[in-house]
């Protein structure tokens, strides 16, 4: 059964496009993959493939094991066929193409999410993975903060009361501590944004508080400023109670994390080394180690 998370187009999914070569290794035709990833022009898709080849080299893996030039016969309107340029791609190559594709295409975003879950043995170092998770959560929380502000305005909160409204959410989640009090407790400089010093766990808790408040304001059609402020604080208390019930660390006890700008700087300067298992490293050649044993007299 094909997973609902599998990218698909025209009834065909990524896994259904998989083929097997003479080495018994799985591969995908770039021409088959092209429409799946939202590219109508081969030239544009080939650019993404070339970027993926460069990424493969930088990751310490041999592109020849993952990208093989090939030809593919395609039908013409006259009923005849002609040969067009193609690539045979390993699973790892498909992963890299998705990572190097046009992020504006929803198909690329879908594929990136799919490979983030499905990619085997293709993981960044633990530090880089943690950095990426935190940076992504920080971006999501920033967007959610803006969305919550919009919802608060629709619920009757005046601009001059936005500080009070957002502080109410912190007070509910942090046991009565507002934003400034949290910074003081954690020795965070007053000029720094609190969200920039939260680790992934703390960011996730605050993001959940924001999404639930936004939904509750809309669901209950709240249109009173004080009621909106009270709602935000109450949702914060509910999230705090949930953390307590499952035995999690209360947010005011979580130490301040490294400033998010330092994380961004580290990620920009990092060239990830993707260490593949023997079979995956062989890519289009299959399990090279076992093949060598089989070929010996």
Domain ranges of the chain: 8-123+275-295, 127-269
The arithmetic mean of pLDDT across residues 97-106, rounded, is 88
pLDDT at 145 over 50: yes
Q: Predicted confidence band at 79 (pLDDT cuts at 50, 70, 90)? A: low
Q: Which residue has the tokens 């499905």?
A: 118
DSSP character for 180?
H
The upper half-sphere exposure of residue 252, i.e. CA atoms within 13 Å in the direction of its Cβ, equals 18
Q: What is this structure's pTM?
A: 0.54
- What is residue 171's predicted lDDT score, i.e. its pLDDT? 98
pLDDT at position 103 is 83
Q: Are 45 and 30 in contact (CB under 8 A)?
A: yes
Task: Output the pLDDT for position 294.
Answer: 42
pLDDT at 48: 94
Residue 268: count other Cβ atoms within 10 Å of its Cβ: 7
- Tokens 């090279």 — which residue? 288
What pLDDT is stored for residue 76 in this prediction?
A: 53
Check if the beta carbon of residue 236 is closer than 8 Å to that of residue 171: yes
Highest mean pLDDT among 44-58, 76-90, 99-113: 44-58
Q: What is the tens place of the pLDDT at every residue in 258-285?
A: 999 999 988 887 655 566 666 677 788 8
**pLDDT score of 8 more than 70:** no
Residue 234: strand, helix, or coil:
helix
What local confidence, expressed as pLDDT, does residue 43 receive? 92
Q: Tell me what pLDDT residue 266 has.
A: 84
Please give the Cα distance from 28 to 31 (Å, whole number): 9
Task: Give the pairing type, strands 81-89 and 26-29.
Answer: antiparallel
Mean pLDDT of the chain: 85
């Amino acid at each position: 059964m094909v997973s609902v998370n599998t990218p698909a187009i025209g009834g065909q999914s990524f896994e259904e496009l998989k083929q097997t070569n003479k080495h018994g290794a799985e591969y995908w035709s770039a021409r088959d993959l092209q429409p799946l990833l939202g590219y109508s022009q081969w030239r544009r898709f080939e650019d993404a493939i070339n970027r993926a080849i460069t990424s493969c080299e930088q990751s310490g893996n041999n592109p020849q094991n993952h990208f093989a030039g090939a030809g593919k016969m395609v039908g013409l309107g006259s009923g005849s066929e002609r040969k067009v340029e193609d690539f045979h791609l390993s699973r790892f190559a498909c992963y890299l193409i998705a990572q190097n594709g046009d992020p504006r295409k929803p198909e690329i975003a879908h594929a990136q999410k799919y490979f983030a879950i499905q990619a085997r043995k293709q993981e960044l170092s633990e530090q880089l993975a943690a950095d990426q998770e935190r940076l992504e959560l920080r971006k999501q929380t920033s967007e959610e903060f803006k969305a919550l502000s919009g919802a608060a305005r629709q619920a009757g909160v005046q601009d001059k009361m936005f500080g009070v409204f957002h502080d109410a959410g912190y007070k509910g989640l942090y046991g009565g501590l507002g934003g400034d009090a949290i910074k003081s407790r954690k020795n965070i400089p007053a000029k720094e944004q609190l969200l920039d010093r939260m680790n992934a766990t703390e960011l996730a808790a605050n993001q959940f508080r924001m999404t639930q408040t936004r939904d509750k304001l809309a669901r209950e059609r709240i249109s009173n400023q004080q009621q909106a402020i009270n709602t935000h604080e109450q949702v914060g208390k509910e999230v705090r109670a949930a953390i307590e019930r499952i035995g999690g660390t209360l947010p005011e006890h979580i130490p301040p994390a490294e400033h998010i700008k330092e994380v961004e700087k580290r990620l920009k300067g990092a060239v990830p080394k993707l260490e593949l298992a023997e079979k995956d490293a062989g890519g289009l050649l299959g399990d090279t180690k076992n093949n060598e044993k089989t070929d010996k007299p």
